[in-house]
Amino acid sequence: MTTRRSVTDIMARVSGMSAAEISNRLRQEAAKRLDLLRYRVMTNGARSAKSARATAEPGRFFFDYQDIPEILSTMRKHMPGQVNAIVAEAEQIRAHRFRLLGYRDIHYGTDIDWHLDAVHQKTSPRKPWFKINYFNFDEVGDPKIIWELNRHQHFVVLAKAYRLTGDRRFADELFAQWYSWQEHNPYPIGINWASSLEVAFRSLSWLWVNALLRWTDAVPAGFSSDLYGALVTAAGHINRYLSTYTSPNTHLLGEGVGLFFIGTLCPEVVDAKKWQQAGWQIILEEAGKQVRPDGFHFEQSTYYHVYALDFFLHARMLASRNGIEIPASLDDTLLRMMNVLCTLGQGGAAPAFGDDDGGRVFDSSRNRREHFFDPLAAGAVLFQRGDFKHVARNVTEEALWLLGAGAVDRFQRIANEPAGSGSTALRDSGVYVMVNSRREQLVVDAGPQGTHSAGHGHSDALSLHLSVNGREILSDPGSFEYGGDGAGRRWFRSTPAHNTMQVDQRDQAEQKAPFAWSALPQTRVQRWITGREFDVFHAGHNGYERLANPVTHERWIVNFKRGVWLLRDVAHGSGEHELDIAWHLAPEIPEDAALTGAPYGSASVMILPSEERAWTASGKQEWWSPAYGRKVPGTTLHQTFHGALPAELANILNTDTAVKEPASFRRPETDNKNLIAYEYTSGSTQYWAMFAPGGAPWLVAEWSSDADLLCAVVVEGEPQAILLCNGTYVDRRNQRILSSARPVSWCELVRRGADYEVDSPERDFVTLQPGSDAGEPVSAIQSSERLEQ
């Protein structure tokens, strides 16, 4: 019986829909019933492919049939390891042992049950797809595991193995499984029709198989006709049940790609032109909608960024092969998305912000963080970009199939150029990248939690990721899974699973459903400065302002570009609160290595907190997920505070493994309650950061200024670099270093020999005092007078 509450909920949902959405949903509901009626009155629910246009020009795949031998020869020469991996995996597939997502060696027995989640041993019911609640773990298990098998990307492995070896057993296994699937998945029965995206993925795999094997004697008689009938059924389903209003993200994009491929490569089918045009329109529209102006995907997930880029790239290449005009806007989208990967790849390891879907458009085994940069291999050749080559490192098998056997030589001829442009702000997505002189990289997530209800975003405002020498040091733990009992997903997307501050054991947003959040926080970046010797990042979010006693979390980061980062976390508010700052170490990095700075492999970092008695530190074993469905132990350092606000804690991250002398990190005393100063000493180098909001003159230790932020690097007693923000002067040891006729937003001084070089957007107002040691003397009395003013 429908309850009053459910009726109210339904009415509320309908009232928020447009007329177009209501009409679309009604059409889809009617189509579901009609499909089921057809199935019940026909022996086979598949649509016929007999109606055709005999005069249609055949569609062209990424490669022609006669190109295959050269591509395979190039693979054997340049990618022998990949060739061996393909054949070895094909042998496993013949034994019905599959690699799915992050799971390995899943055995499906003698007869494959295409409705089985073999990890959790749960079988989805054989009933009309629209009557299956695939979010119900007790009913179906984890649908992603079922769908991953039913994407049939392993068919492509079998096809390639046959072409590489000539072993007929691989082709025979492929076609035996294909016909088994057709028999056990009559349209519209079963979970494998429940997602139009999965239908699209499966269709792409079938088209790859057709392109690889079409003219070989391994293809059974009648397969071509059977394949076209199956593709017509698939395209009809996708076209009727587009995710226009239910999942207008990579689901809709992937469905558009599926329609475009079927319509382009099966032109003899009557509806092919309609499908091609509809799919191409979706691709072009979603390129404008799903990618922010700075190039990052709107799901706020690195994995989904790569996932979407794969779709756009493959569609673009197929369009080009078939003489379809490529709008400049699509290439612009591809370049912007690839530029993002190039920016995130400067340190050699990209952050895994947001959800990890686990799937890929090409070669589903390349689904880990180290494979994020795969599209750049093809992008380097396509756009002749040396920086893309630098991050990609090597040409991939995917680039070979998309661009032909000559892709290897073309890739090798491109000049290798450094990646990225140093410290960079992706302002639309709120991703801020700090790079030091050794190309070590710290990335901060200060953007929206995601699009719509942030279904694939995590509660990670102001979280950061650190990579050193190409290795993750401070890491995002990932996603683990979407299904299961839900506990794993809840933790991996929660605030404590990220390198940020948690307040009162609450998330920054409310977990509403497995793919929805409410009370999404707003993050505001208040300062971003990047110079030659310093970067400064300052932002805050309001995620905890919904508490009974509201709390605002602010994070400052100063990048001293010599291998030192100062992180300052401040909790503003009133009343008693519990604060917890988590630092998730990448797997296998022991806790003592992070606390002592001991090298671990080629990388090292020391996390040194300021001496704040109210804070306690402890290590805890938590989790890290290398791929969907897998988790391994990882160490997390927790810094905890219980007490009245405001409260703050600063930490030093030092990646300079060459420094062996003892280090100290202290907070110098001052009579100015508005001044917070930190001094970090490592060997003969001092790093200063002084925060003084309000613009009034101040004095601490050997420094005096009216800046609201002053940073400095002093080596063997000599200032080597100084950064002044929102101030008019800097004195050291009662000597004037610089002055300005008016407050400058920022000014950086870098010593070159006996002099300083000045960089400032308001350079014309800055006066650098003469002299090799900071210039004109200023008496202590004058300094005191300025402090009183």
Query: What are the residue boundaries of the structural domains of the chain, listed by start?
Result: 422-658, 659-789
Structure tokens at 22: 């209501």
Spatial separation of the C-alpha atoms in residues 7 and 22, rounded to whole Å = 16
Tokens of 186: 């009559």
Residue 637 in contact with residue 653, Cβ under 8 Å? Answer: no
User: SS3 of 389, please?
Assistant: helix
Are residues 569 and 581 in contact, defined by beta-carbon separation less than 8 angstroms?
Answer: yes
pLDDT at position 587: 87
Phi, psi (deg, nearest 5) at residue 730 = -140, 130
Helix, strand or coil, per DSSP, at residue 79: coil
For residue 646, whether the previous peptide bond is cis, meaning omega lies within 30 degrees of 0, is yes
The topology (CATH level 3) of 422-658 is Beta-galactosidase; Chain A, domain 5 (2.70.98)
**Lookup: tokens for 528:** 């971003």
Say which residue the tokens 């991703």 belong to: 431
Alpha-carbon distances, residue 704 vs 310, 376, 427 (angstroms): 54, 49, 33
Instruction: Give yes or no for a contact between 658 and 685, defined as CB atoms under 8 angstroms apart.
Output: no
Under 8 Å between Cβ of 564 and 682: yes
Half-sphere exposure of 164 (CA within 13 A, CB side): 24
651 forms beta bridges with 567, 609
Is the Cα torsion angle 405, 408, 413, 419 positive or negative in sign? positive
CA distances from 466 to 90, 434, 523 (A): 38, 9, 21
**Edge-to-edge, what's the strand order for the sheet holding 551-560?**
523-530, 534-541, 551-560, 564-573, 647-654, 606-609
pLDDT given for residue 55 in this prediction: 56
pLDDT given at position 177: 98
Q: Rounded distance, CA 641 to CA 639, Å?
A: 7
At 53 the pLDDT is 54
Look at residue 778 in the predicted model and tell me its pLDDT.
Answer: 36
Whether this prediction's pTM lies above 0.85 is answered by: yes
Burial class (CB in 10 A: 0-12, 13-18, 19+), 335: middle
Q: Which pLDDT does position 54 carry in this prediction?
A: 52
Q: At residue 459, what is the residue type?
A: S
CA distance 456 to 515: 6
For the chain, which ranges sit under pLDDT 70? 1-13, 15, 42-56, 593-604, 657-662, 770-789
Residue 424: partners with Cβ closer than 8 Å, 6 or more residues away:
343, 432, 433, 435, 530
pLDDT at res. 780: 29
Q: Tell the burial category of 20 from Cβ atoms under 10 Å away from its Cβ (0-12, 13-18, 19+).
A: exposed
Model pLDDT, residue 776: 41
User: CA nearest 533: which of 428, 314, 689?
Assistant: 689
